[in-house]
């Protein structure tokens, strides 16, 4: 990967830009519009959104204003937990499309799996939701479909009942949080890993291992983490509302982390995790 617009091929042949711009916790309104315009000016062409972020109307306005052809921007949204199930999924998708003012989505994800803590028939609920995703995909309303925060034991029953397999799994992934079992399962089944929270949600900025290695390359810890995600074959989704940092986070193609440094980072003990586990969440 040499530029922000270089792509990973998904299992259906659709190309997804290797680095995305995350929008979690970005307030709607002018803050969101400015962040998106800054990211697009910096070269990002992959925007990761979600209905639960409550900023999709502002994202839609920013995309309308940017002047960049629609086909050049890869837009993701996610189905929130309260809208699981076949009919609710279809209705939620229409709401997202109206908020974004788009005719199609590039990628739609199930934000979190239904779990047995909340639902006796959690497997069935995930499958019903996925059936709606398949319908929208077949109708060409969405170019690619996938999941988020799914572990292998969520993916297996979903895939057993699916006509179309997930193309993406977006998980928490950063130094100190590699989710090796999930990553290995997804690679075995040709499911691309997207990395949310690639900077450890700011918790890694002063980590001694990362600060030492970043200094070797004359880079920030954030740049090191994003580059590390790429060199591990994942698609990182860094987020910032600060123009200088948005630009800085894109400047990760002028250095390569050595094999030795990659191995040291890969072997870091747990650090920077959100603590969110898909089997334990109750939202």
Is CATH 3.20.20.100 the right assignment for the domain spanning 7-266?
Answer: yes
In which residue are the tokens 């949310």 written?
Answer: 196
Largest CA distance in the chain: 53
The pTM score is 0.98
In which residue are the tokens 């002063």 written?
Answer: 206
pLDDT of residue 141: 98
Q: What is the mean pLDDT of the chain?
A: 97
Choose, from 8, 53, 137, 173, the residue flagged as catalytic. 53
How far is Cα 3 from Cα 10, in angstroms, rounded to an integer? 18
Q: What is the pLDDT of residues 106-134, one digit of tens each?
A: 999 999 999 999 999 999 999 999 999 99
Helix (H, G, I), strand (E, B) or coil at 21: strand
Alpha-carbon radius of gyration of the chain: 18
137 part of the active site: no
How far is Cα 198 from Cα 100, in angstroms, rounded to an integer? 25
Q: Cβ distance 238 to 228 under 8 Å? A: no
pLDDT cut 70: percent of the chain above it: 100
How far is Cα 247 from Cα 244, in angstroms, rounded to an integer? 5
Q: What is the pLDDT of residues 42-76, one digit of tens each?
A: 999 999 999 999 999 999 999 999 999 999 999 99
Mean pLDDT of 89-113: 98
Residue 202 has pLDDT above 90, yes or no: no
Q: What does the angle CA 21 – CA 27 – CA 29 come to, to the nearest 5 degrees? A: 100
Indicate the domain borders of the chain.
7-266
Closest by CA to 156, choosing from 126, 134, 129, 135, is: 126
Q: What is the pLDDT of residues 144-159, one digit of tens each?
A: 999 999 999 999 999 9
pLDDT of residue 7: 98
């Amino acid at each position: 990967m040499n530029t922000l617009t270089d792509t990973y091929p998904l299992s259906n042949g659709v190309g997804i830009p290797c680095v995305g711009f995350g929008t979690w916790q970005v307030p709607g309104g002018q803050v969101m519009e400015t962040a998106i315009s800054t990211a697009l000016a910096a070269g990002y062409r992959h925007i990761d959104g979600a209905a639960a972020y409550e900023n999709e109307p502002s994202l839609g306005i920013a995309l309308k204003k940017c002047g960049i052809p629609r086909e050049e921007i890869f837009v993701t949204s996610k189905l929130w937990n309260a809208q699981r199930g076949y009919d609710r999924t279809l209705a939620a998708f229409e709401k997202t499309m109206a908020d974004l003012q788009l005719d199609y989505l590039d990628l739609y994800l199930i934000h979190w799996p239904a779990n047995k803590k909340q639902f006796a028939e959690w497997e069935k609920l995930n499958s019903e939701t996925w059936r709606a995703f398949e319908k929208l995909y077949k109708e060409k309303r969405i170019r690619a479909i996938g999941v988020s925060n799914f572990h292998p034991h969520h993916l297996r029953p979903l895939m057993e009942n699916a006509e179309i397999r997930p193309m993406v799994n977006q998980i928490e992934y950063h130094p100190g949080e590699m989710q090796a079992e999930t990553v290995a399962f997804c690679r075995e089944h040709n499911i691309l890993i997207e990395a949310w929270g690639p900077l450890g949600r700011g918790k890694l900025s002063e980590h001694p291992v990362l600060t030492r290695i970043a200094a070797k390359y004359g880079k920030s810890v954030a740049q090191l983490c994003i580059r590390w995600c790429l060199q591990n074959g994942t698609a990182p989704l860094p987020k910032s509302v600060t123009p200088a940092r948005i630009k800085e986070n894109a400047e990760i193609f002028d250095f390569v982390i050595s094999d030795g440094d990659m191995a040291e980072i890969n072997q870091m003990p747990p650090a920077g995790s959100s603590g969110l586990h898909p089997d334990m969440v109750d939202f």
